[in-house]
C-alpha cells in the first residue's frame, strides 16, 4: 500500500479552525447592566441543583452535582454542593454578576455548604431566604376502614 503521508496544517490554519470551534461553542449573553441576580439552591437527599437567574428571574445558568460528575450518593454530600456553588460563581463572574439574593429550598445536606461556598468565592450575598414548602395541614387522610 505504501506510506501514508500526514498533512500538517500551518499555524494560521489551526488558529482559524480554533476560532470557528470557539465561536460555535461560546454562550453569547450580554453582561447584566444591574450586576445583581438571584441564586436558587435546591438541595434534596439525592442531589443539589443551583440556578443563577437575573433580577427578574430569567435563567442565566444552572448546574447540579450530577452534571459536574458526581454519581450516586456522593451527589448529596456537602462537598459536592460546594463544588456546584464554585462552578456557578465562575459563571456568574463571567456574566458580570456581583450581588446575589439567595433562595434555598429543600432539606438536603448541601444547603449550608453551598451558601458558604458562594460567599467564599467573591459573591456579595444581599439576602438569604428559605422557601422550602411546608404543608399546613397535610393531605386528607384515607377513609376509616369498615370491617
Listed in sequence order, the DSSP H helices in 1-145 are 11-25, 65-68, 78-95, 111-120
Cβ neighbours of 144 (radius 10 Å):
5
Q: Cell 447540579 sits at which residue?
A: 64
- Listed by start position, the domains of the chain span 38-130
CA–CA gap between residue 52 and residue 120 (Å, rounded): 17
CA–CA gap between residue 89 and residue 42 (Å, rounded): 16
38-130: what CATH class?
A: alpha beta
Q: How confident is the model at residue 61 (pLDDT cuts 50, 70, 90)?
A: very high
CA–CA gap between residue 97 and residue 85 (Å, rounded): 14
Q: What is the pLDDT of residues 15-55, one digit of tens each?
A: 877 777 776 655 555 555 678 999 999 999 999 999 999 99
Amino acid at each position: 500500500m505504501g506510506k501514508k503521508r500526514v498533512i500538517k496544517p500551518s499555524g494560521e490554519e489551526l488558529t482559524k479552525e480554533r476560532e470557528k470551534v470557539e465561536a460555535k461553542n461560546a454562550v453569547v449573553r450580554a453582561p447584566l447592566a444591574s450586576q445583581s441576580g438571584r441564586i436558587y439552591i435546591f438541595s434534596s437527599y439525592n442531589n443539589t441543583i443551583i440556578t443563577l437567574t437575573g433580577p427578574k428571574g430569567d435563567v442565566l445558568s444552572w448546574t447540579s452535582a450530577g452534571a459536574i460528575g458526581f454519581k450516586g450518593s456522593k451527589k448529596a454530600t456537602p462537598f459536592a454542593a460546594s463544588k456546584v456553588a464554585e462552578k456557578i460563581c465562575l459563571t456568574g463572574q463571567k456574566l458580570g454578576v456581583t450581588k446575589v439574593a439567595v433562595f434555598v429550598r429543600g432539606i438536603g445536606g448541601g444547603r449550608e455548604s453551598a451558601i458558604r461556598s458562594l460567599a467564599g468565592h467573591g459573591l456579595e450575598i444581599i439576602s438569604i431566604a428559605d422557601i422550602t414548602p411546608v404543608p399546613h395541614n397535610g393531605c386528607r387522610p384515607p377513609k376509616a376502614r369498615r370491617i
